[in-house]
Chain A
Amino acid sequence: MTSTATPTQSLPDAELAHYNPKSESAGTKRVKSTVFHLVALALTAVVLYPGLWMIASAFKPNSEIGGSNTSLWSNNFSFDNFVTAMDGIGGVSTLQFFTNSLILAIGAVVGTILSASVSAYAFARIKFPGRSIFFGMMIATLLLPFHVVIIPQYIVFQQLGLVDTYVPLLIGKFLAADAFFVFLMVQFMRNLPAELDEAARIDGAGHVRIFTSIMLPLMKPALISTSIFSFIWSWNDFLGPLLYLNTPDKYPLPLALRLFVDQTQSSDYGAMIAMSVLALLPVLIFFLVFQRYIVEGVSTQGLKG
């Protein structure tokens, strides 16, 4: 038995070596993987082309941006466009526009964090009459086209003398008007164990204590996603400032860009694109630093870009 055992055992081994499905699939795997990367890289090139074109053009002289220039490279790269762009427009420096955008974005983040977290706590952790009705209404506002409220809002702010101030742009943030963030935080809090509050309650803690010393620290990931997205949304917002701001020295970057487009009209494409790059810079930096958070946030909470 032992003498024949060796060949019979080695025979399938030899056959296996010949027809090893593993080694064959390793070969096809490599081909498949190469094809995958070729397709994915080609797609990456297409997707990133507009961004690269924008950055390259910002460094090119005007004569090389329009016309037959599809190439990203130039022999005449310079910072000239950025120097022009930093001068600003309408007698206001670009630094001022940056400051304005920053004030609005930070205001949006602070307001949203404060109001959305408190409201979400009520929805997620406190039982009170009418809660599910209000929750349903909150969800409904997610789907509501906001154009239906801008006209009366404008009329009210106009009558209060608040047009051309930041109040109309920020007040909604402090009143949790971006229902998406409330929803996000409710979902997050519902996944935290209920025993936490119960234990704290037995120890005599009220809702204020439970919220500030138990919920808030545990909600860090949701607070970070909210901060990132409310910053970026505020930074890119165009309609709000367009409606409410009239004097250029209060403009955030998107409105300044529109002014730039209106006044230069294709005469200085280079500076216009340089300014577009500058306006996107904080968003791009945010993206590079927080991409994990951002992409995870989108995949788990269905946030929009």
Chain B
Amino acid sequence: MSGYTLQALYADDDHLMKAVRETRDQDHHISEVYTPFPVHGLDKAAGLKETRMAITAFLYGLVGFGVAVWMMNFMMIEDWPRNIGGKPSFTFFQNMPAFVPIMFELTVFFAAHLMVITFYMRSKIWPFKQAENPDPRTTDDHFVMEVETDKENIQDVAEFLHSTGAKEVDLKR
């Protein structure tokens, strides 16, 4: 890491998208982009890696499914055998239709909650965390792109950022 970060402020998401593409074409390193709302296609333009959230969701779902199967088997068959629907078979498989809604719900429950928690952890946000966005205007109607550079190139990069349509360019303190 070079240690110096320039913040370019844009007033429009189309300007931002254009600037992101041009900046990457010039081989400058974009460290972060702050936007007040999700900008469609920004992830691809900024060259982010594909999210692996879908894979975790699938695995969490499997965990939830497994927990449900184990739980229903323990509660309704082993620990306290129940006569379900007037069919006292006391086996897991023959009572299985009654457990399907629980399996489904716990699959969804585990996938959804663990995915949210994973997302928090990956994004490094937790309760009482201070906001990181560099300029309050990025929560309203402006967009900030942060570009890393080294000492010798600061002026060149700042001029380049101006040429991409930035409204302001600041050096991050």
A binds B: no
Query: Which residue numbers of B lie inside 8 Å of A, CB to CB?
Result: none
Query: Which residue numbers of A lie inside 8 Å of B, CB to CB?
Result: none
